[in-house]
């Protein structure tokens, strides 16, 4: 058994044939993100390319893929059109957060098509969009 103590933290060095089992065990507990899995692995274990292994495994995890929501710009625009605009007409102003789906070219074209003015809230400042944040608090 070998331990890595290069940074004054004792971590068990995992042999190559047991690495997949270590990643599977750590990720299988709560299915954290790739970074979360990597952080937990690096706190307890050591081996070359531990980051690459943990990110690859979480990207290929079937359970995570099944549960993860599709949040692309096209999906978002389609959902807004089908659930809001088709019932209530297009808004004069469309306010969103700084999410990548709202900054995408397709979403900008979507708001131009609707003749809606597009605004974004300040990043890391949820109070700048207080109405929707209060509405989110009421959701189950």
The alpha carbons of the chain give a radius of gyration, in whole angstroms, of: 22
Task: Return the residue matching tokens 């299915």.
Answer: 31
Q: Can you tell me the distance from the alpha carbon of 130 to that of 140, in angstroms, rounded to the nearest whole number?
A: 18
pTM, entire model: 0.50
| pLDDT at residue 4, rounded to an integer | 67
Per CATH, the number for 3-67 is: 1.10.340.70
Beta bridge partners of 120: 96
Question: Please, where in the chain does CATH 3.30.420.10 lie?
Answer: 73-138
The CATH label, of 3.40.50.1220, 3.30.420.10, 3.30.200.20, 3.20.20.60, for the domain at 73-138 is: 3.30.420.10
4: phi > 0 → left, psi -120 to 50 → alpha, else beta; which? beta
Name the token pair of 23.
């990643």
Alpha helices by DSSP H, listed for the chain, are: 16-30, 34-44, 50-60, 62-67, 73-80, 86-88, 100-103, 105-113, 130-138
Query: Tens digit of pLDDT per residue, the chain (140 long)?
Result: 566 667 777 888 899 999 999 988 888 888 888 888 889 998 888 889 888 988 888 888 888 888 877 788 999 899 999 998 999 998 998 888 888 888 899 989 999 999 999 888 887 776 777 776 676 676 65
Instruction: Assign 69 to helix, strand or coil.
Output: coil
């Amino acid at each position: 058994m070998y331990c890595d103590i290069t940074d004054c933290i004792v971590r068990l060095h995992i042999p190559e044939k047991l690495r997949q089992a270590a990643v599977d065990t750590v990720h299988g507990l709560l299915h954290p993100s790739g970074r979360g899995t990597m952080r937990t692995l690096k706190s307890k274990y050591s081996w070359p390319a531990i980051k690459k292994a943990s990110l690859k495994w979480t990207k290929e995890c079937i359970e995570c893929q099944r549960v993860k929501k599709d949040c692309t710009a096209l999906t978002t625009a389609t959902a807004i059109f089908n659930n809001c605009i088709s019932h209530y007409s297009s808004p004069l102003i469309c306010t969103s957060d700084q999410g990548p789906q709202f900054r995408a070219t397709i979403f900008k074209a979507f708001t131009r098509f609707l003749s809606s003015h597009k605004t974004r809230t300040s990043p890391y400042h949820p109070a700048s969009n207080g109405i929707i944040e209060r509405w989110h608090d009421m959701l189950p």
